[in-house]
Amino acid sequence: MSADVMPVLTGVLKEQRRSLLVWGGALFAVSAFYISFYPSIGSSPAMQEVIDSMPAGVAEALGYDQITSAAGYVGATVFGLLAPILLLVFGISTGARLIAGEEEAGSLELELAHPIGRMRLVGERWLAVAIDLVLLVIPVVAASLLLIFALDLDVELGNLLAMSVGLLLFAMAFGSVAFAVGAATGRRAVALGSTAALAVIAYMAHAIGPQIQGGEWMADLSPFAWYLGNKPLMNGWDVGGVGLLAAVVVLAVPVALATFANRDFGT
């Protein structure tokens, strides 16, 4: 990518290359590590006994009700817990930093001193968040594919694609919200705190809502349910859930562009 075509994006990606390598390596290692345990843990009778001893609602909310199958195990451990948590941490922190954090540090002032409009700056910095997350989902998918073939696990590749796209959009949704809040307020702590709180509330709605009589609507409003509710690694594409996650991204980006373009810039 030429620095003359997208100088802001190129500069951000160049600054992040070492951290992306570390994050990518960690995601690959963690994913491969957990999947490698399936033959000895996931399919064991002892694990089924543990699951049976758990309250039915809790096991289902965590995705453990199907953990004795290969697709259920990989979906619950890697795609349902580890990868989403790590990508949420990265996506929210990066989204909050790339506008609000840099603004507080004074570095955006230097960029805007060049002939780069605010809209272009915001657009290229959001694109950096999106590219970062694509690059970090790839190691998760690569580790999953490697272990699926190496261990001959019964996981359909089409379902793995559906799960991977959902994971990417899930992380992008929260990363874009953090980015938009940071662009609107210029305060990194506000962007981090509000988006992290939203993630916690969304998870609680997904996990606890179905356990409350008449509380199913809470899960229906949760991005966790949009991503995990259909168990894509077992059942394939959930067009509605994917569409809702994509809609959050599509709405957040214009908000970031409009709010940053029309507010006083902090120095």
Confidence (pLDDT) at 128: 95
Cα dihedral sign, 241-201-144-34: negative
Predicted confidence at residue 58, as pLDDT, reads 59
CB neighbour list of residue 262: distance below 8 Å, 6 or more residues apart: none
For residue 45, the Cα-to-chain-centroid distance in whole angstroms is 33
Could you tell me which of 80, 98, 224 has the C-alpha nearest to residue 140?
A: 80
- pLDDT, residue 43, reads 59
Q: What share of the chain is helix, strand, coil (3-state, %, to 5)?
A: 80, 0, 20
Instruction: Give which of 233, 117, 133, 219 is closest to 176, Cα–Cα.
Output: 133
Residue 173 to residue 177: CA distance in whole angstroms: 6
Amino acid identity of 172? M
Check residue 198 and give its pLDDT: 96
Residues 62/75, Cβ–Cβ less than 8 Å: no
pLDDT digits (tens), the chain, 267 positions: 455 678 888 989 999 999 999 999 999 999 999 999 888 876 566 666 666 665 555 566 666 667 778 898 899 889 998 999 999 999 999 999 999 998 888 787 777 777 778 889 999 999 999 999 999 999 999 999 999 999 999 999 999 999 999 999 999 999 999 999 999 998 999 999 999 999 999 998 888 877 777 777 888 899 999 999 889 999 999 999 999 999 999 999 999 999 988 877 654
**Alpha helices in the chain, H assignment, sequence order:** 7-36, 45-53, 56-62, 70-77, 83-96, 102-105, 107-112, 118-150, 157-185, 188-208, 216-220, 223-228, 232-235, 239-261
